[in-house]
Amino acid sequence: MRIKWLGHSAFLIEGSKKIIIDPFITGNPKAPVKAEDIKADIVLVTHDHGDHLGDAYDITKKNNAVLVSIFEITQDAASKGVEKTEGGNIGGTIEIDGVKIHFTAAAHSSEGLGDPVGFIIEMDGKTIYHAGDTGLFSDMALYGEFFNIDVALLPIGDRFTMGPKSAAKAAKMLKAKKVIPMHWGTFPLLPGDPAEFAKLAECEVVILQPGESVEI
């Protein structure tokens, strides 16, 4: 399985299915690709802020993919011509062609289309946690007990999410084997330093630049 960072919080996970998460591509100064070039079977959206919802509807339509998100976002997508949607809510699980997608809490805000979420994805024997935009919260320790997390994708940018110190604590609570920091460096208001995070974290940290990937 390959995990590619597309800048900000956008990731492309390529295994038996291609999954794109939070595809903020158009308008993202760090995006290494164009939205029209993305191939995906499943599109995940953590919340409705523009830097996460991004190109999700267009990518879903173009690829005849399935959009997975909080119920209110999928309802909005359907009203705008997205044909395949799977809405859920925190604590629930959706399975698509053998891929399990668990909805987790996220301590953040939204524009009004439901609550922000994170996702725990189980595919091809691997477990990946995308935290979405979030601050540190105690239930992360429960996720570490419930799931054997191979890779955690954690925001470290600070100001709007966890900074490096909080993210390092989150990584410990999650018991993640590897962590890839995200939501840093896109804009000046995201000053979190991945090198600082790597020094604080008690696990393997993989620092990617936009367009780079890692095999797991």
Determine, yes or no, domain membership for 81.
yes
Q: Which residues in the chain land under pLDDT 50?
A: none
Query: What is the per-residue pLDDT for 157?
Result: 98
Structure confidence at residue 194 (pLDDT): 98
Q: Is residue 85 part of a domain?
A: yes
pLDDT of residue 76: 98
Provide the residue range defining the domain that includes 93: 2-209
Residue 140 resides in a domain: yes
Name the pairing type of β-strands 178-182 and 151-155: parallel
Could you give the number of structural domains in the chain?
A: 1
**Sheet containing strand 117-123, strands side by side:** 93-96, 99-105, 117-123, 126-130, 151-155, 178-182, 204-205
**Is 215 a member of any domain?**
no
Distance between CA atoms of residues 7 and 142, nearest Å: 28
> Tens of pLDDT along 107-126?
999 999 999 999 999 999 99
Vertex 58: Cα angle to 209 and 120 (nearest 5): 55
Rounded to whole angstroms, the Cα distance separating 90 from 9 reads: 20
- Tokens describing residue 87: 């809405």
Report pLDDT for 166.
98
Would you say residue 195 lies in a domain?
A: yes
Domain CATH code at residue 20: 3.60.15.10
pLDDT at residue 74 in the model: 98
Give domain status of residue 216, yes or no. no
Give a yes or no: residue 22 inside a domain. yes
Give the CA count within 13 Å in the CB-facing half-sphere of 7: 19
pTM for the model: 0.98
Is residue 214 in some structural domain?
no
Note the pLDDT tens digit of each residue in 47-86. 999 999 999 999 999 999 999 999 999 999 999 999 999 9
Nearest to 182 by CA among 37, 55, 49, 12: 12
